[in-house]
Amino acid sequence: MAPESWIQPPEMLRICHRDLWADNVLPTGQGGVCVIDWENSGPADPAQELGCVLFEFARTDPGRARALTRAYRDAGGPAQVNRRGHFSMLIAQLGHITEIAAADWLIPHVRSPERTDSAAWIGETLDAPHTRELLDNLVQGLRGRDTR
């Protein structure tokens, strides 16, 4: 079973950022965060967006994933990640990024004019893959069962 088989349609549509990767979350001088690059924002399931955030910022650290989720919920966040389908946005986005990067490697594009640019994009996914085991461990860790 490939992770793509886990993809589920969104259940609770809200306006979401839909691109909450580390390069779009910047620290402020006061110790907070500033989220930039809202051009892809639109309707999405907050649980699926939270799945992306947890993968990006806590993928192998269950304690950090729980702390991040707690802070999100304490700040009024409406979602929680408790099943595989909550990684649907992650699986779709990383698959899309890899597909675009591979196409740009074959035929250079303005967004990746050099093959090294495309290779770097692909490397982000292949160097730290979103495997079934990793995502299952993340869900289990959120339930308080550290599986490392």
Q: In this structure, is residue 123 part of a structural domain?
A: no
pLDDT at 111: 87
Q: What is the DSSP letter of 56?
A: H
- Residue 26 dihedral angles phi and psi, to the nearest 5°: -110, 145
Domain range for 55 is 3-88+130-142
* CATH number of the domain bearing residue 21: 3.90.1200.10
Is residue 53 a part of any domain in this protein?
yes
Dihedral in degrees, nearest 10, Cα atoms 74, 46, 131, 9: 150
| Distance, CA of 51 to CA of 20 (rounded, Å) | 10
Query: Residue 2: what pLDDT?
Result: 66
pTM confidence score: 0.89
Residue 93 lies in a domain: no
Phi-psi region of 18 (alpha: psi -120 to 50; beta: other; left: phi over 0): left
| Structure letter (DSSP) for residue 40 | T
Written as one letter, the residue type at 140 is: Q
What pLDDT is recorded for position 43?
98
Q: Coil, helix or strand for 27?
A: strand
How far apart CA 58 and CA 134 sit, in angstroms, is 11
Answer yes or no: is 134 within a domain: yes
Phi/psi region, residue 88 (left: phi>0; alpha: psi -120 to 50; beta: rest), is alpha
Instruction: Assess if residue 48 is contained within a domain.
Output: yes
The tens place of each residue's pLDDT in the chain, 148 residues long, gives 467 788 999 999 999 999 999 999 999 999 999 999 999 999 999 999 999 999 999 999 999 999 999 999 999 999 999 999 999 999 999 999 999 999 999 998 998 889 999 999 899 889 989 999 999 999 999 998 544 4
pLDDT for res 148: 46
Is 29 domain-assigned? Answer: yes
Number of domains into which the chain is organized: 1
Q: Which two tokens stand for residue 24?
A: 């779009």
